[in-house]
Amino acid sequence: MKKIWTKAATDNSISQREISHQNLARTAAAESIVLLKNDGALPVKPGSIALFGAGAAYTIKGGTGSGEVNERRSVTIWEGLKNAGFTITTEGWLKEYSEYLEKEKQSFYKVFFKKVQKAMVSGGDTMINLMAEAFHYPAGRVIRDDELTQDETCIYVISRQAGECSDRQLDKYDYSLEPCEIENIKKITAHYKKNIVVINASSSMDLNPLDKIEGISAVVFFCQQGMEGGNALADIIAGKTSPSGCLTNTWAVNYDDIPFAREYSYLKGEISKEFYKEGIYVGYRYFDSFEIPVRYEFGFGLNYSEFKIECAGVDVKKSEVTVLAKVTNSGSAHSGRKVVQAYVSFPKGILTRESISLAAFGKSKTLSPGESEELKLTFNLTELAGYDEKTSSYLLDAGDYILYLGSSSRIKQAVSVITLDETAVTERCTKVCPLVSKLEELPPSGGDRKTDISGLKKIQVKASDIPCVTHNYSNTETEHSPKVKEWMKNLTTENMMDFLLGTGFSGGKEGLTVPGSAAFTTSNYIDMGISNVALCDGPAGLRLQPVSVVKKSGNVKPVEPPMEMLKYLPGIAKKFMLGNPKSGKVIYQYTTAFPVGTAIAQTWNTEIWESYGKAVGVEMAEYGATFWLAPGMNIQRNPLCGRNFEYYSEDPLLTGKVAANVTKGLQGNEGCYVAIKHYAANNQETKRNYSDSVVSERALREIYLKGFKIAVQEGGAKSVMTSYNLLNGTYAPNSYDLCVKLLRNEWGFKGLVMTDWLSTGKGLASNGLAIKNGNDLLMPGGNAFMKRLKEDFENGVFTEEDIKRCCANILELIAESRIQKEFEKSRT
């Protein structure tokens, strides 16, 4: 019999924790919604309104795959508006859509699961490839004339969903609008006085057809907002909350305006190599440096009120810059919060830099009309250093750094100039992840060409005052705690090897179970006093199985399908997967579906980020999870990436700051850890296990690694998940440069490195090389993994010393985990 224990609840009632986290999810969602256009139609007093569009009836709360969180219940936009006191006069269309959607899903998944069955029998196509055939939410039908009501205001919600394993489609009306959506928007605008278009998608879309339609009063980027999205949107629509979210990526006018747009992922016809030809020119760095018009720029977001942003002083102490920004609500009718952004432009020198770079930001409290607040924005000049590949060093060129304050990357004002007397080297590094394929990068452009700096305050900074770090790459041993040393003494090499592998999502023979976990560590050493620990997904909350049944045998089965698509499994398979609630003890683990990564970032609110991390940690502690497989922090290099919704931004500084604050909040819960992912340059989903990201070292360091560095150094992230892809010819988990030189030697990381799930094996990254090169834990584990690992050990791919090092890194976090402490208490 399997001896298991769980921390799940045995009653199904809604807890106080659920209620308070739902409130936080609603606040975060409302603060992240971005108002893109408003001619004064918004806010709207609760009353009677017309509501159409797929996303109104079935609001998409997040993406698919491992990022899908299983909450108790999600509020649609339709419900949210009703909760806020609106009367919806178009429920016939919405009800019909819901029924139609259900039928569409049933027929899609009928075919889908037949293909899965065939693939499983023939062993041909893998489940992963099939997952790429994502369900496309239909737009619904054209609105009939008799469905147009007598209301003044109409809201139309466009929705799209994306997810793991597949990138968004450029055609097939995924990135673009469907003819039926365009026709419907034309119909409503011709009929209603006020027309609000809401976009319920994870990332940008081609909105060109809307430009040709007269009568659109407002456009709202709702994004995907988790379980409280419908209520949050209603808060914005009714003006209970004033919008204050700002975009964290650039919305291009045309897809082809994005650099090398047609070479992205599957679009170029083959995926074995992805050439990052744009170099450092990602997002606004490209659009601004090359002066390309955009639809909505990075950092953009309107408010109901007007705000004035003024510089109240700049102070530089050695390399620490403090900018005082005075924000005033200069409107007369609405209160609201304002995001203030500081950008810097660079002098020309050894490096040609992007025309501007985000340096700092802050968000005001809610200001009433006429009220002001002074925000203190701080940054260190060293954070802005560029990377010189020739000398393997980060440097700041001598000359003028112009400082701007504003409300977006394009709405800003130069406020002062910081002049560096000589070029300063800030870090001396070694070459990492060298190119093995030829890469022709976009020739540089940028530098500030037009700003008139006469009359601006000038501040002199001496290069000699700027600190320089010289990194040491000799492999110093990590000092381990007495408890770990003691454990290690009693473990044989074979025992230690057990720790290097996970035990799959169902866990081991005994020990803790957290149903719905992505995997556990070994439970073979429970008798020795070492608990197994659970690793659970995110990033939009804690992904667990909400209702399970624990049978007498110790087996645990879900009572409800733990993923939306599994609801459509054919009868027999479903019966096999689901447990009968009467067959044992029923347990509950209801977690909160928070706004997706992009949405959380759009709040630009460090307090929200920290509270959200803290809340996830509280849920982890409640149910016994130790690792949260999040934050997802890959750079949004292209809007078609299927997992953009999990990620924060196209900007590395913002990405790093969100992750660092979420990490602080989460790890503030004793013995709970983040696993920042996917390290690194995993910016597409199509055939993600086989694609080689060809990136220059400079772009890698300035764009793709910078966020991770911030999460480690400022956030104190305790674990890192490597990615599936190759990076310049080497699989990420097999890269000594990524796992040791950068992470441990340069950034001072002391935690645990794990692989992404099933990223090692035949035709993939090597198990043995992962262990040799600094990737401690191989996930999700299992017999085939162990067989390969043993073979590699016998063939000398890695040594006993490597096993000891990896095992100790894992044991260190187990020893400090909350679960281990609870386990020890239970044994005394």
Residues that bind ligand BGC (CB under 6 A): 66, 164, 518, 537, 629, 677, 756-757
Query: Minimal distance in Å, beta carbon 676 to ligand BGC?
Result: 11
Query: Minimal distance in Å, beta carbon 629 to ligand BGC?
Result: 4
Query: Minimal distance in Å, beta carbon 66 to ligand BGC?
Result: 4
When the beta carbons of 433 and 754 are compared against ligand BGC, the nearer one is 754
When the beta carbons of 162 and 339 are compared against ligand BGC, the nearer one is 162
Query: Minimal distance in Å, beta carbon 536 to ligand BGC?
Result: 9
When the beta carbons of 655 and 696 are compared against ligand BGC, the nearer one is 655
User: What residues have CB less than 8 Å from 417, skipping those under 6 apart?
Assistant: 400, 401, 402, 403, 453, 456, 457, 458, 459
Strand 752-754 to strand 719-722: parallel, antiparallel, or no bridges (unpaired)? parallel
Query: Minimal distance in Å, beta carbon 716 to ligand BGC?
Result: 20
Cis peptide before 711 (omega within 30 of 0): no
Query: Minimal distance in Å, beta carbon 720 to ligand BGC?
Result: 12
Q: Per DSSP, what are the bridge partners of residue 693?
A: 274, 727
- Separation of alpha carbons 224 and 63, rounded Å: 8
User: What residues have CB less than 8 Å from 145, skipping those under 6 apart?
Assistant: 187
- Pick from 376, 248, 262: nearest CA to 323: 376
Cis peptide before 539 (omega within 30 of 0): yes
Query: Minimal distance in Å, beta carbon 128 to ligand BGC?
Result: 8
DSSP 46-72: SSEEEEESHHHHS---S-BGGG---BS
User: What residues have CB less than 8 Å from 485, skipping those under 6 apart?
Assistant: none
Task: Kindly state the tokens that stand for 178.
Answer: 């469907």
When the beta carbons of 75 and 518 are compared against ligand BGC, the nearer one is 518
When the beta carbons of 30 and 633 are compared against ligand BGC, the nearer one is 633
Q: Per DSSP, what are the bridge partners of residue 416?
A: 403, 457
The answer to whether 299 touches 409, Cβ cutoff 8 Å, is: yes
Query: Minimal distance in Å, beta carbon 335 to ligand BGC?
Result: 39
- Separation of alpha carbons 167 and 398, rounded Å: 42
When the beta carbons of 646 and 746 are compared against ligand BGC, the nearer one is 646
Query: Minimal distance in Å, beta carbon 537 to ligand BGC?
Result: 5
Query: Minimal distance in Å, beta carbon 677 to ligand BGC?
Result: 5
Query: Minimal distance in Å, beta carbon 61 to ligand BGC?
Result: 18
When the beta carbons of 779 and 803 are compared against ligand BGC, the nearer one is 779
When the beta carbons of 164 and 297 are compared against ligand BGC, the nearer one is 164
When the beta carbons of 81 and 518 are compared against ligand BGC, the nearer one is 518
User: What residues have CB less than 8 Å from 760, skipping those under 6 apart?
Assistant: 731, 733, 766, 767, 770, 778, 785, 788
* Torsion angle in degrees (nearest 10) through CA of 486, 487, 491, 495: -160
When the beta carbons of 358 and 536 are compared against ligand BGC, the nearer one is 536
When the beta carbons of 702 and 756 are compared against ligand BGC, the nearer one is 756
Query: Minimal distance in Å, beta carbon 766 to ligand BGC?
Result: 19
Angle at 542 between CA 540 and CA 546, to 5 degrees: 120
Sign of CA dihedral 607, 197, 205, 101: positive
When the beta carbons of 57 and 518 are compared against ligand BGC, the nearer one is 518
Backbone dihedral angles phi then psi of residue 217, each to the nearest 5 degrees: -85, -35
The answer to whether 145 touches 665, Cβ cutoff 8 Å, is: no
Query: Minimal distance in Å, beta carbon 518 to ligand BGC?
Result: 4
Strand 469-470 to strand 424-428: parallel, antiparallel, or no bridges (unpaired)? parallel
Q: Which amino acid is at 278?
A: E
* Torsion angle in degrees (nearest 10) through CA of 514, 518, 521, 526: 20
The Cα-based distances of 290 to 185, 294, 445, 584 in angstroms read 34, 11, 7, 64
Query: Minimal distance in Å, beta carbon 295 to ligand BGC?
Result: 30
Strand 547-551 to strand 534-537: parallel, antiparallel, or no bridges (unpaired)? unpaired
Give the H/E segment covering residue 179.
helix 179-191
The answer to whether 433 touches 735, Cβ cutoff 8 Å, is: yes
When the beta carbons of 31 and 164 are compared against ligand BGC, the nearer one is 164
Report the half-sphere exposure of 519 (CA within 13 A, side-chain side): 20
When the beta carbons of 629 and 640 are compared against ligand BGC, the nearer one is 629
When the beta carbons of 53 and 163 are compared against ligand BGC, the nearer one is 163
Query: Minimal distance in Å, beta carbon 161 to ligand BGC?
Result: 17
- Pick from 402, 413, 56: nearest CA to 230: 56
